[in-house]
Chains A and B, each alone.
Chain A
Amino acid sequence: MLLLFLLVPLGGLLVRAAITHPGAGLASPAVWPALRLSLFTTTCSTVCVAVLGTALAWRIARGQGAWARWAETASQLPVVIPPAVAGVAMLLVFGRRGVFGPLLDRAGIALPFTTAAVVMAEIFVSAPFFLQAATAAFRRIDEPMLIVARTLGASPPRVFFRIALPLALPGLWGGVAMSWARALGEFGATLMFAGNMPGRTQTLPLAIYSALESDLDAAQAIAALMVVIAFLVLLVLRALQPGTVTGGGAAR
Chain B
Amino acid sequence: MMTVRLKRQLGALALDVDLRFGDAPLVLCGASGSGKTSTLRMITGVLRPDMGHIDLDGTVLFDRDAGVDVPVEERRLGYVPQDAALFPHLSARENVRFALDVSGTLARRERNARALQLLGELGVGPDAASRRPAELSGGERQRVALARALASEPRALLLDEPLSALDPATRQTVRAFLAQTLQRLRIPTLVVTHDREDAEALGAQVAVLEGGRVVAGP
A interface residues with partner B (beta carbon < 8 Å): 142, 144-145, 147-155, 158, 162-163, 166-167, 246-252
Contacts and interface: CB of A to CB of B under 8 A. Distances in A.
A148 B81 contact: yes
A250 B134 contact: yes
B88 A154 contact: no
Interface residues of B, number: 34
Given A145-B85, A251-B133, A152 B41 contact: no
Contacts of B86: 145, 250-251
Contacts of A153: 73-74, 76, 99, 102-103, 152
B44 interface: yes
B82 interface: yes
A205 B81 CA distance: 52
A101 to B, nearest CB: 46
Given A152-B98, A152-B148, A154-B73, A247 B78 contact: no
Contacts of A154: 73, 98, 102
Interface of B: 41, 44, 46, 72-89, 98-99, 102-103, 132-134, 145, 148-149, 151-152, 165
Closest 5 CB pairs of A and B: A247-B88, A250-B88, A250-B133, A144-B81, A250-B134
Contacts, number: 85
Contacts of B87: 145, 149, 163, 167
- Main SS class of interface, B: mixed
18 contacts: A144-B81, A147-B41, A147-B72, A148-B79, A148-B145, A148-B149, A151-B72, A151-B73, A151-B79, A152-B103, A152-B148, A152-B151, A153-B152, A166-B89, A167-B88, A251-B83, A251-B84, A252-B83
A251 B89 CA distance: 11
Nearest to A154: B102
A163 B46 CA distance: 17
Given A163-B87, A167-B88, A250-B132, 7 more contacts: A147-B72, A148-B80, A148-B85, A151-B77, A151-B78, A152-B102, A251-B84
Interface centre among B80, B81, B88, B145 (most CB of A within 10 A): B88
B73 A251 contact: no
A248 B81 contact: no
